[in-house]
Structure 1
């Protein structure tokens, strides 16, 4: 196949029927369907297909910025913040002046910063991403080692947001209950899979470590953020985000409380109540229409305390501590 040529859907695994390229991969019953272990990462069959296409055919640009997250780690919030910060010269916020209605008031954050691997690329070619003007702000759930090789080669900058794993498992379980009609896992069953590392794009510790290690080696290329820290001091972290995106806030903007306005515009309370986010249905993955409101539940730090037993919490803490041992990364 010629470089850059999009393969036919019939020639790649779709997940709807068994394909020789997926047969050798380890499988396990996942949260809602069979998961396959591809290069150390648990994915669905269609997701593997999408990853292969993205690695082969997505064309990164040197000025691309990737927002990388493990699922249910504040992806929607990060998209909103990064979009507001990066585009405030065209779409002023608060004291920044005019500019009309801000896109975050009329568009879902998930649509303003598209994923590179979603919707599944055998159903939705990459041409839509190719057509975007530079500088592109893109997102991904892929672990670092599955990113297209050219991302590292070109020095594309990456913003990584992680979250306390106990909150992640609870958020994931609630999310799947909401968006999957036939989801039947009890919380303790979902928890057992999670601590075994069997969750979509998991294990979570490998996902975090991949970006953490890259951040330690090259902090100018990877900004590593923690959800809990951002919630505790959003002003500080939005300033840090702006500096990393090469659009630091000016003294005039700081004096006009633009940073505070960005935080307010992108807050859970503000975004979750907007009609574009609280109503309607969209299919952003490929074959799974979901309510726009499903991306907003609580966004609270420590909500796991309402669901996990002390024994469960200690078990997950011990596993995370062991897996991250010696890395310098802690939760």
Structure 2
């Protein structure tokens, strides 16, 4: 379906569809006003898209849902899950593996993006089983049938200070019509005013449910995965019900998955270092924008000690008594 300029800028043209969003609390500061939709900050277009996904997305019991807050290693998780699940079809060491010629963002599509009032969800219906799908939605905003059907969910979180810095870099790169300084980004982030935020609510929702349903929701931490990727690749395979055999482990398949999906390898591939794609619905994004830096502790090069202490204090307070440490 071709998108009109009115739809891109303002959301769907149907007044009934946009009426609810137009009444939501609104706040300025980012590249466009955000609305507070069911406790989550979104652009009006994203809120409309989420409404469509909540009512029309049809999950399957064997769907695999990869969930992340933005800038928490989404692209890496997509690459790992795709490679692990489909390794019987695509030899990890082959010269024609899909990851060598297709961007990880395109191999594992989002549920709520590109905007679903423009790009029908039927695009997901043609995907073969088992589908691997992604979402940035907080658990509370996921289509309810995902839980009802028992779909497995892998959640990846990241140290909030690194998320903040990565978000700042990313927004200023992909939005040519917009620039926000680090200090303002920091203040917004501390207030919970960021896309799909607040980040602490996002993490807590999945964390608490993973304690209730550990067999259905796997809660992972980016820093831990970076420190021991082999351990976590095995963990992912077990959770996704495609464990590595003894023969595979002896043959070094686990190590090959780690190598193929590593940041440095993916970043160096022509498909990821050049070209662009429209994966949201309102602007093309350079493929390289997803591969800036995977460095743990990158925040130290950008935040002052005072800023770091302030954000750490906020996160500790928001997560108190939950058992979660970010």
Q: If the TM-score is normalised by the length of the shorter chain, which range does it land in?
A: over 0.9
Match for residue 235 of structure 2 among 220, 240, 256: 240
How many residue pairs align between the two structures?
A: 320
Contact 1:158–1:223 (Cα < 8 Å) also in 2: yes
Counterpart Cα distance in 1 of 2:92 and 2:127: 23
Match of 1:132 in 2: 127
1:15 Cα deviation from its structure 2 partner = 3.5
SS state at 1:22 partner: helix
Match for residue 324 of structure 1 among 315, 319, 323: 319
Contact 2:259–2:265 (Cα < 8 Å) also in 1: yes
Query: What does the per-residue CA deviation read over 1:280-312, in whole Å, with 9 as the maximum and x for residues that have no partner?
Result: 011000021011000000110000000000110
Match for residue 159 of structure 2 among 158, 164, 168: 164
* 1:156-235 equivalence runs, <5 A: 156-235=151-230
Please, what TM-score do these two structures have when normalized by structure 2? Answer: 0.95
Query: What does the per-residue CA deviation read over 1:113-139, in whole Å, with 9 as the maximum and x for residues that have no partner?
Result: 000000000110011101111110000
Counterpart Cα distance in 2 of 1:138 and 1:254: 27
1:32 Cα deviation from its structure 2 partner = 1.3
Q: What is the Cα-based RMSD across aligned positions, in Å? A: 1.8
Contact 2:272–2:288 (Cα < 8 Å) also in 1: yes
Counterpart Cα distance in 1 of 2:314 and 2:305: 14
1:287 aligns with 2:282: yes
Match of 2:48 in 1: 49
Match for residue 260 of structure 2 among 250, 265, 273: 265
SS state at 2:20 partner: coil
Uncovered stretches (5+) of structure 1, i.e. residues with no partner: 1-5
Query: What does the per-residue CA deviation read over 1:238-277, in whole Å, with 9 as the maximum and x for residues that have no partner?
Result: 0000000000000001001100000000001100010000
* 1:12-23 equivalence runs, <5 A: 14-15=10-11, 19-23=18-22
1:92 Cα deviation from its structure 2 partner = 1.3
Query: What does the per-residue CA deviation read over 1:152-193, in whole Å, with 9 as the maximum and x for residues that have no partner?
Result: 000000000000000000000000111001222110001100
Contact 1:14–1:49 (Cα < 8 Å) also in 2: no
SS state at 1:21 partner: helix
1:67 Cα deviation from its structure 2 partner = 0.3
1:16 Cα deviation from its structure 2 partner = 7.6
Please, what TM-score do these two structures have when normalized by structure 1? Answer: 0.93
1:206 Cα deviation from its structure 2 partner = 0.3
Contact 1:30–1:198 (Cα < 8 Å) also in 2: no
Contact 1:30–1:199 (Cα < 8 Å) also in 2: no
